[in-house]
């Protein structure tokens, strides 16, 4: 009988092939058409029960969705780049989620593993000393790059799927493998939660390659993720000639500038870390025109859901006040969000015990603080814990 190490080691060459392929054909959030079809094909081949697309993503809960034109363009490109046509219709329109279930036929808990599939909106380096460039698997899609390891995450759980199926006769209960779109910008998890994907999960683990974690070390739970809200703001004023009749205009740029400065003077919160940032401000069409439209991309973050909620409400008041000062309209669109959530201590302890028992890791760490970042798997953790179940 093959040991667990044998089953894993036998898959390493295929894992490298998968990972490099996914890296080369990187796809941004809600556009993971090619990736999702390849994932579905492999899981189908292994014999998993599949739920795809709209079955696992609530359309109304999606955030930060690209335009219909971009969705259509990227779906067509994915087909040209090897997306499997028999699976592609399931994901059309940006519903690029996959859930695969292994039912062992024996009573036991439902265990869920979640990974993300999307790339960052970055163009990969073409430098000769950059390993993907040197080895010929750098991203061929401009403005899309796997710089956060999601190609590795997808590969890991595809390999896990094969290992679990090979060990099915030794397992009990059910295992759900959750392949999430649009983690970057924290946009995708909430839509899978709204679709009920987590409603039967008793034991949940979200997987991420370690940043700043030495090779061979495993961290059993990441703590202190910041809750966050991402929003786009559009100010709409009235254009006018800046020299001839400026009094007829309503300056959207000044409203956005006032909002930007005011947002960055919001006071700190007594409840913990609080952050607000205006990352983008775009306005104007010419030096002699009173700008009639201004766009802002804003985020708030907080050490807890309460802190983030308070900062977000303050931000809304600042934005509305700036619009009123300059007599312009404003519209706010939610683009993403994540919760602050603490891993279940009992589940972290169990993972720690099992990791040590395997003897495969040089170091096993209970928890690592993630005080600077946000992660939308927290929506999934929160849903599982709300049901009285365990998550990490």
CATH of the domain at 269: 3.30.70.360
* Nearest C-alpha neighbor of 141 from the set 127, 117, 120, 158: 120
* Nearest C-alpha neighbor of 57 from the set 149, 218, 235, 193: 193
Distance, CA of 41 to CA of 224 (rounded, Å): 36
pLDDT > 90? residue 2 = no
Average pLDDT of the residues in 350-371: 88
**Are 188 and 52 within one domain?**
yes
**Are 234 and 323 within one domain?**
yes
CB within 8 A of 180, min separation 6: which ones? Answer: 97, 114, 115, 116, 117, 188, 189, 192, 377
In a domain? residue 372: no
With contact defined as beta carbons under 8 Å apart, do 305 and 339 qualify? yes
Q: Give percent of the chain above pLDDT 90.
A: 92
With contact defined as beta carbons under 8 Å apart, do 222 and 207 qualify? no
In a domain? residue 8: yes
**Are 167 and 260 within one domain?**
no
In a domain? residue 215: no
pLDDT > 80? residue 343 = yes
pLDDT > 70? residue 370 = no
Domain boundary among 195, 214, 237: 195
Q: How many domains are contained in the chain? A: 2
**Are 130 and 233 within one domain?**
no
In a domain? residue 373: no
- 369 band by pLDDT with thresholds 50, 70 and 90: confident
pLDDT > 70? residue 376 = yes
**Are 289 and 149 within one domain?**
no
Ramachandran sector of residue 216 (left: φ over 0; alpha: ψ -120 to 50; beta: rest):
left
CB within 8 A of 248, min separation 6: which ones? Answer: 238, 240
Average pLDDT of the residues in 204-210: 93
What pLDDT sits at residue 371? 60
Average pLDDT of the residues in 166-189: 97
- The structure tokens 């009235």 sit at 238
Strand, helix or coil at 194? helix
What pLDDT sits at residue 316? 98
- 1 band by pLDDT with thresholds 50, 70 and 90: low
Average pLDDT of the residues in 315-338: 98
What pLDDT sits at residue 4? 84
pTM: 0.95
**CA 238, 241, 245: angle at the middle one, nearest 5?**
90
């Amino acid at each position: 009988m093959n040991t667990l190490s044998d089953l894993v080691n036998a898959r390493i060459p295929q894992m490298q092939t998968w990972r490099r392929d996914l890296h080369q054909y990187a796809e941004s959030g809600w556009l993971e058409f090619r990736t999702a079809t390849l994932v579905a094909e492999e899981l189908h081949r292994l014999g998993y029960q599949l739920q795809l697309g709209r079955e696992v993503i609530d359309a109304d809960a999606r955030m930060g969705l690209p335009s219909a034109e971009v969705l259509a363009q990227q779906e067509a490109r994915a087909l040209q780049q090897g997306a499997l046509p028999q699976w592609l219709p399931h994901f059309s329109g940006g519903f690029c989620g996959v859930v695969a279930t292994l039912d062992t036929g024996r009573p036991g808990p439902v265990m869920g593993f979640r990974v993300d599939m999307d790339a960052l909106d970055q163009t990969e380096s073409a430098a000769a000393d950059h390993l993907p460039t040197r080895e010929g698997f750098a991203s061929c899609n401009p403005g899309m790059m796997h710089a956060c390891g999601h190609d590795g995450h997808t590969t890991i759980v595809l390999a896990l799927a094969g290992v679990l199926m090979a060990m099915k006769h030794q397992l009990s209960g059910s295992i759900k493998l959750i392949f999430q779109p649009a983690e970057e910008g924290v946009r995708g998890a909430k839509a899978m939660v709204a679709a009920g994907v987590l409603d039967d999960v008793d034991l949940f683990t979200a997987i991420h390659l370690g940043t700043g974690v030495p090779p061979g070390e495993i961290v059993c739970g990441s703590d202190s993720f910041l809750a966050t809200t991402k929003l786009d703001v559009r100010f709409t004023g009235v254009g006018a000639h800046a020299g001839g009749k400026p009094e007829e205009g309503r300056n959207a740029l000044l409203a956005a500038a006032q909002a930007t400065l005011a947002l960055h003077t919001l006071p700190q919160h007594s409840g913990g870390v609080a952050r607000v940032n205006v990352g983008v401000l775009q306005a104007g069409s010419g030096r002699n025109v009173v700008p009639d439209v201004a766009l802002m991309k804003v985020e708030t973050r907080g050490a807890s859901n309460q802190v983030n909620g308070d900062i977000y409400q303050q931000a809304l008041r600042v934005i509305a006040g700036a619009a009123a000062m300059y007599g312009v309209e404003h519209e706010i669109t939610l683009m993403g969000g994540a919760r602050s959530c603490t891993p279940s201590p009992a589940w972290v302890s169990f993972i720690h015990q099992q990791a040590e028992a395997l003897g495969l890791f040089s170091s096993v760490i209970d928890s690592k603080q993630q005080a600077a970042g946000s992660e939308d798997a927290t929506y999934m953790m929160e849903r599982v814990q709300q049901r009285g179940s365990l998550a990490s």
